[in-house]
Chains A and B, each alone.
Chain A
Amino acid sequence: MIKRGLDIELNVRPVYIGLYHEEYYEGPCRFGSGDALQPGFDQIMNRQLSEQFAETVKNAMPEKVKLLEPIFVERPDSWITGENLYETLLEGSAETDFYIVNSGIGRSGITLEFAQRVRKPLAIAPDRCCEVPIINAALRARGLEVYAARTWKELKKTITALRLRKVLNSTQLLLAPRMDSHASMSAPDTFLSLDQVTDKLGVRFRYINIHELLDQMQPLPEGGNYTTPGRKTNNITAEEIAALEPIADRMLAEAQEVHVEKKFLMKSLTACATVKKLLDVYDCSGFTMPCPDTCSTRRLNEMQFTPCMIHSLLNEQGIPSACEYDINALLAMVVLEAVSGNAAYMGNTDVVPYEDGELVLMDGMRAMVFPDIEDKTNLYHTWHSVHSRKLHGIDRENSPFGLQHFARDQKFGAVIRYDYNRDAGQVLTACRFSPDLKKLFVGRGEVVGGGDFDKENCNNYLIYRVADQKKYFDAQMQVGTHLPVVYGDFTEELSILGECLGMEVLRV
């Protein structure tokens, strides 16, 4: 089954720890008067405040949070705390990802012991005076996971970041290597060790040999596939291919421009449908396959498709899919799609320096038709042929698009085209891990425009402006070439995620 990262929720449980006085007395820690000092008053007040606290937590949560049943406990001023209090606090802890605790003077010790026993991340309600620094200092000194926020709005971003960590921990990716399952011919800037990724982030990997995958993109022949003779495999069926016809017709009808034949679009859709079928079989929620490695087998030439449409359409469905077997970019897309609910876009990402009054274009850009940009400072350029109609929201209507072919001679390889000029001014967030998993690149930019909508092959680019091109460039040098992006500003949440993961955050 495919469990999309963007559907994963963080289970948050409010906890209220009250204090009640068993006798009437005054002293340095009693502030009320009259009935407020009488036995019995505190118990009513504690429950009132617990209910209000639960309501405050409910109103303060970000999306994709499942609020669990609040827990209420209270201790007497005799300081005798029975084990049943901790039993109550620990109820449902297996299901709980994060606790928000409301306690106060005379109860901090209970919060501390609870944290020691439950070993789950927690935060004190931001508006609890004194208690926030008390608990944070006590827990941090003991190596326990605790978060501090000045306001509920700030805590919301922390909770989002913790949800992203859960997403990573719940992620299983399908990789389709040809030769080296660790790195492809074009993406050596991937992780140093996939084992380290599993260890540090919890991400798991499943593999399918590229030849076996390609074999399964056609109905099963008698005797089985060439690569697995005599075996039953999960080939796409004739019925499943037939079901793609109306999808192809709809895409052809809706596209603003069409420069690819239906037969080639069907081949690309068949490839995508096969991958999605296998994602379900392997219980994976993300995919990547190599480009040059697969290209040089000549099988894509024989089968007449390129992987681009696979990546485009899967990302449009909230299933991260990356080019070139760039597992690093794929993980960044897992995080970006989960935080934004938008399709991610990845491509070769290059600096566009402005020097001596002229743009200094890199090799690959010189053939591109650059838009007429007035302010040529701090520009960055990204391009791959994996554009999306869902940049503004996976659950939203498609944006206008075009259909083009990739291969210049034979005109196969249906690809989507997108006009980024329509999104000028749109803020975007870029993200990528360093190969050693010690750093997290978190970039912010603003769309300036795009170009080459009408070009075939690996073209059609996005240009965006960053705050400081040199800093952006220096940070990029530590992480790699592909910087996946999503629309929206999620730099704060991703920065917190990096800190939660113990990484140095390169926020630019």
Chain B
Amino acid sequence: MEIGERRKLVARLLAASKKEPLAEAEVINSEPDASFIFVEEHLRQYVLAKYMLPPDCKKDNILALARLSLEITLQLDENALRELDQATPCNHAKSETTKKVLLLYAVQRDLHLPENPAQLSKVKTVTELAQYVCEARRGFTGKNS
């Protein structure tokens, strides 16, 4: 693929990775009393779209999904990794960790969830993320820290 076409493809994919997750978030937000299964289904599509992964990807671990996403992104844009590494040089965060935290932050923002970094940072899988979203929408019983 020549460079001009590659750039157009990257731009298309990046645009989709912004638009599609927002659409899934909107679906979740429109059902404030949605069941766990409903939330989990749409949240999974949110995550996969955000990471530019196919909708039938079965992996549940978020770091593993982030790694997969990085592999795909690097094939398209060699500079993508450098940008992620530059985000937190003093904190020694790996690219996949940064990608995961960006995802968690985006979920919190797009689903209008109250801030609870102590609980949110414990999430490791998409399933756990869905459980977190459901609990957050019901109101937390634990302390914020």
Residues of A within 8 A of B (CB): 31-36, 38, 40-41, 43-49, 51-52, 104-105, 127-130
Residue of B nearest to A40 (CB): B115
Say whether A48 contacts B121, CB under 8 Å: yes
Q: Please name 6 pairs of A and B residues whose Cβ atoms are closer than 8 Å in the assembled complex, sorted by A.
A: A44-B104, A44-B121, A45-B93, A48-B97, A48-B121, A49-B93
Do B108 and A40 have beta carbons less than 8 Å apart?
Answer: yes
B residues touching A (Cβ–Cβ < 8 Å)? 83, 86-93, 97-98, 100-102, 104-106, 108-109, 115, 117-118, 120-122
CB proximity of A107 to chain B, nearest CB, Å: 10
Q: Are A32 and B88 in contact (CB under 8 A)?
A: yes
Which 3 A-B pairs rank lowest in CB-CB distance, beginning with the nearest?
A: A47-B121, A32-B87, A43-B117
**Secondary structure call for the A interface:** helix
A31-B88 Cα distance, complex, nearest whole Å:
6
> When A and B form their complex, what is the total count of cross-chain residue pairs whose Cβ atoms lie within 8 Å?
72
In whole angstroms, what is the CA distance A34 to B50 when docked? 15
- Complex formed: what's the CA distance from A52 to B94 in Å? 10
Asked whether A36 lies within 8 Å of B89 as measured between CB atoms, the reply is no
Cα separation A244 to B8 with both chains bound (whole Å): 86
**Cβ–Cβ contact A104 & B90, under 8 A:** yes
Supposing A33-B83, A33-B87, A52-B97 touch, asked if A44 and B92 sit within 8 A by C-beta, the answer is no
Beyond the given A31-B90, A40-B105, A130-B90, please list 19 additional residue pairs across the A-B interface where CB-CB is below 8 A.
Answer: A31-B87, A31-B89, A34-B102, A35-B102, A36-B87, A36-B98, A36-B102, A38-B105, A40-B108, A41-B102, A45-B93, A45-B98, A46-B91, A46-B117, A47-B121, A47-B122, A51-B122, A52-B97, A104-B91
Known: A36-B102, A45-B101, A48-B97. A105 touches B90 (CB 8 A): yes
A44 touches B90 (CB 8 A): no
A285 CB to nearest B CB, Å: 42
- Provide the residues of chain B in CB contact with A128, threshold 8 Å: 92
Question: Looking at A31, A33, A38, A44, which has the most chain B CB atoms within 10 Å of its CB?
Answer: A44
CA distance A38 to B104 in the complex (A): 13
* B117 CB, min distance to chain A CBs, angstroms: 4
Of chain B, the residue at the smallest CB distance from A36 is B87
Q: Which residues of the other chain, A, contact B86 by a CB distance below 8 angstroms?
A: 31-32
In the complex the two chains form, what is the Cα distance from A317 to B38 in whole Å? 63
Distance of A257 from chain B, by nearest CB (Å): 61
In the complex, A40→B105 CA distance in Å? 8
- Please pick, from A31, A35, A36, A44, the residue contacting B117 in the complex, using a CB distance under 8 A: A44
B105 touches A48 (CB 8 A): no
Is the Cβ of B92 less than 8 Å from the Cβ of A35?
A: no
Q: Which residues of A contact B104 (CB under 8 A)?
A: 44
A402→B130 CA distance, assembly (Å)? 68
Look across to chain B and name the residue whose beta carbon is closest to the beta carbon of A72: B145
B101→A41 contact, CB < 8 A: yes
Q: Considering the complex, give the chain A residue whose CB is closest to the CB of B89.
A: A31
Residue of B nearest to A105 (CB): B90
- Cross-interface CB contact of B121 among A35, A38, A51, cutoff 8 Å: A51
* Residues in A whose Cβ lies below 8 Å from that of B106: 35
Q: Which residues of B contact A47 (CB under 8 A)?
A: 117-118, 121-122
Q: How far is the CB of A268 from chain B (nearest CB, A)?
A: 59
Measured CA separation A36–B105 after assembly (Å) = 9
Contacting pair A44 B101 (CB below 8 A): yes
A27 and B80 alpha carbons, distance in the complex (Å): 22
Residues in B neighbouring A32, C-beta threshold 8 A: 86-88
- Do A45 and B118 form a contact, CB below 8 Å, given A31-B86, A36-B98, A40-B108? no
Q: Are B92 and A129 neighbours in the complex by a CB distance under 8 Å? A: yes
Are B105 and A35 in contact, with the CB atoms below 8 A? yes
With both chains docked as a complex, state the minimum distance between the C-beta of A76 and any C-beta of chain B, in angstroms. Answer: 13
Q: Is there an interface contact between A49 and B87, defined as CB atoms closer than 8 Å?
A: no
Residues of A within 8 A of B115 (CB): 40, 43
How many angstroms between the C-alpha atoms of A453 and B120 in the bound complex? 68
Bound CA span A36–B83, Å: 11
Taking the closest CB of chain A, its distance from the CB of B92, in whole angstroms, is 6
Q: B89 to chain A: which residues have CB within 8 Å?
A: 31
Nearest CB on A from B118, distance (A): 6
* Chain B residues within 8 Å of A41, by CB: 101-102, 105
Contact of B97 (CB < 8 Å), options: A49, A105, A129: A49
Instruction: Note all chain A residues with C-beta closer than 8 A to B109.
Output: 35, 38
Residues of chain A lying within 8 A (CB to CB) of residue B105: 35, 38, 40-41, 44
In the complex, the chain B residue whose C-beta lies closest to that of A131 is B90
- Is B108 a contact partner of A48 (Cβ separation < 8 A)? no
Contact check, A40 vs B117: say whether CB atoms are below 8 A apart: yes
In the bound complex, how far is the Cα of B117 from the Cα of A38, in angstroms? 14
A216 CB, nearest partner CB in chain B, Å: 59
Question: Taking CB as reference atom, which chain B residue is nearest A33?
Answer: B87
